[in-house]
A and B are shown apart, each in its own frame.
Chain A
Amino acid sequence: MAVSSARIAGRRVGNAVFVGACVLVTVLALAALAAILWSLASQGVGGLNLAVFTKSTPAPGSPGGLANAIVGSIMLGLLAMAIAVVIGILAGTWLAEYAGDSRYGSAVRFLNDVLLSAPSILVGLFVYEILVAPFGGFSGLAGGVALALLAAPVITRTTEDVLKLQATALREAGVALGTPVWRVIGKILWRSGASGIITGALLAFARISGETAPLLFTALNNQFFSLDMTKPMANLPVVIFQFALSAYDDWRRLAWAGALIIAVSVLGVTIIARILSQEQKRS
């Protein structure tokens, strides 16, 4: 009796230690999140003013803003999404509707999953080799393609998952009316899965909007305001990288302001995506 109650006490203590450790690390993780958000807010808000959105990146010591980088980032993001949405939705549709259990289908599915988490810097090197080196210069176009390669696997994956969730009866109903399969997909399946596909696209957009590494070798940077996609193009991540590592206080302030802008937009997009996917679950 004494032995068993000692054992029970031992198990209780062990459990208490374990539970305590779980609570402790959760608090630690949340503290890390709070610390990062706090630094961003306290350092970033101080650097925010109207000039950040209206003036181009300055030389050290003179006033300026991030307007060229913000516009550049938006253009790169839109170009990337335009490419990635088309490729991602079509590829996801092929995987869900046409590939079945074929070997080629499984191979694409598997390698798409690998591509999904492949280091972005290698995608940057690849695009440098095919679009920058042969054409003799960095360009916004190359930057957009690099980002598209990072976004497309995300959209492919969510599209496939969403389409597979649609009821077979929907497909059969469409086909029974004599509708060609591609119209069944376009008019019925894509529409009923729209919110899921949009969620995937938003998450992909959130992923690429903070990407820095692949842009270093593709879009590079541009000190001036430019809308020409065939030339090097300013963008927020690379400007932040350059300014943060500089020795000038006003550049560092701009870097924090830029980091805050990116983080807020990424978090905003992520939250919208979550709300959308929750609504989808409810309906």
Chain B
Amino acid sequence: MSIASSPTVGPSPRRSAPRGASFEPVFKALCFAAATALLASLGGVLVSLVIGGWPALARFGVGFLTTSTWDPVKEVYGAAGPIVGTLITSALALAISLPVAGGVAFFLVELCPSVLRRTIGTAVELLAGIPSIVYGMWGLFVFAPFFSRHVELPLMAAAPPGSLMETLVQGIPNGSGLLSASIILAIMILPFMAATLRELLMTVPPQVRESAYGLGATMREVVMTVTLPYVRRGAIGAVMLGLGRALGETMAVTFIIGNSHDFPKGVFDSGSTIASTIANEFTEATSPMHTASLIALGLVLFLITFTVLALARLMLRNQARL
């Protein structure tokens, strides 16, 4: 820029400014405005959630977070049920998905014959592209009946009366509930985490891996003590990005979680998450306080996911950008 506008030297001292030079500041301002618009939209999300949810927060105070009565008829709203539901389903989904994603990534990087590598890698990434509503329909119509017949009913029959297991597996065995929702969520975040982990493991310099193998280490030892520790910051970031997705996922969960606002009693019991509650009730909200309570729920979700995503990005910052 400074080169283009510096006084001309050489044979033609009176050369005019290059064509279009006056547009330069305008272009730069446009680019700056676009970047600022993105920043403003994230800020706008926060501000609009605070303003929209304020009536509910002002009226119920801390009780909004700690009580679980959600009653649109009596106008009493406590969000503990959906908040706990969100945290439980996300944590379970992560617990199921993480070992599988790790296994897929290790398989692709260390074991897979190169003929299959691209095909399987692509297939796993395509799984990430399937819209969440498809996962929801599959969960409700295909997975839930299967899960009810082959997992819930046998487990409930096998649980000894009065044991901890009986408490854990109580609920209506119709295939929908907290655990089903967690499994669908796990399938949804799996491809993303597996692809990210694989990319990270590929960044390990070949000499590091080859030295370990050269010392006689087995594959398990190479992965667990050399390559995985090499990328651990990035790996933690990838896991937290997956967690962020699970926390905010709406449609797949709405189909299969059963949508009850009470505190879930067991893993087969129906529950709700913040996102599923908003999706189900927002357009049918009966009063301004109902709408405000739903938006306040959105604010809670925003704060949880923003924290998780921000931490994830900080972790990933020093690794290759993914």
Contacts of B110 in A (CB 8 A): 22
Instruction: Give the contacting residue for A121; candidates B191, B194, B248, B313; CB below 8 A.
Output: B248
Contacts of B251 in A (CB 8 A): 212-213, 237, 241
B31 A90 Cβ-Cβ under 8 A:
yes
B278 A121 Cβ-Cβ under 8 A:
yes
Size category of the B interface is 35 or more
A181 B4 Cβ-Cβ under 8 A:
yes
Query: Cβ of A161 < 8 Å from any Cβ of B?
Result: yes
Name which of B58-66, B260-268, B297-305 contacts chain A. B297-305
In chain A between 22 and 56, which residues have their CB closer than 8 angstroms to a CB of chain B? 22-26, 28-30, 32-33, 35-36, 39-40, 43
**In the bound complex, how far is the Cα of B136 from the Cα of A116, in angstroms?**
22
Size category of the A interface is 35 or more
Task: Using CB atoms, name the residue of chain B closest to A182.
Answer: B27
**In the bound complex, how far is the Cα of B44 from the Cα of A277, in angstroms?**
34
Contacts of B278 in A (CB 8 A): 121, 125
Query: Cβ of B123 < 8 Å from any Cβ of A?
Result: yes
**In the bound complex, how far is the Cα of B276 from the Cα of A142, in angstroms?**
21
Q: Report A122 CB to chain B, min CB distance, Å.
A: 6
B103 A21 Cβ-Cβ under 8 A:
yes
Q: Map CB proximity to B onto A94-109 as digits: 1 under 8 Å, 0 otherwise.
A: 1101110000000110
Q: Report B227 CB to chain A, min CB distance, Å.
A: 13
Please judge, given known A-B contacts A119-B247, A126-B45, A217-B282, whether A266 and B20 are in contact too, CB under 8 Å. no
Name which of B76-84, B127-135, B154-162, B201-209 contacts chain A. B127-135
In chain A between 76 and 121, which residues have their CB closer than 8 angstroms to a CB of chain B? 86-91, 93-95, 97-99, 107-108, 110-115, 117-121
Contacts of B138 in A (CB 8 A): 35-36, 39-40
Q: Map CB proximity to B onto A246-259 as digits: 1 under 8 Å, 0 otherwise.
A: 00000010011001
Task: Using CB atoms, name the residue of chain A closest to B133.
Answer: A212
Please judge, given known A-B contacts A22-B107, A121-B278, whether A94 and B32 are in contact too, CB under 8 Å. yes
**In the bound complex, how far is the Cα of B33 from the Cα of A89, in angstroms?**
12
- A-B contact list, 12 entries, CB within 8 Å: A11-B218, A25-B99, A26-B103, A86-B34, A108-B35, A111-B42, A118-B302, A119-B301, A120-B250, A125-B278, A175-B4, A213-B250
Q: State the B residues within 8 Å of A (CB).
A: 1, 3-4, 18-21, 23-24, 27-28, 30-39, 41-42, 44-45, 48-49, 51-52, 99-100, 103-104, 106-108, 110-111, 120, 122-127, 129-138, 140-142, 187, 190-191, 194, 218-221, 223, 241, 244-245, 247-251, 255, 275, 278-279, 282-283, 295, 298, 301-302, 305-306, 309-310, 313, 321
Closest 3 CB pairs of A and B: A210-B131, A119-B248, A94-B31
Q: State the A residues within 8 Å of B (CB).
A: 11-12, 14-15, 18-19, 21-26, 28-30, 32-33, 35-36, 39-40, 43, 86-91, 93-95, 97-99, 107-108, 110-115, 117-123, 125-126, 128-130, 149, 152-153, 156, 161, 175-176, 178-183, 185, 206, 209-213, 216-217, 220, 237, 240-241, 244-245, 252, 255-256, 259, 262-263, 266-267, 270-271, 274
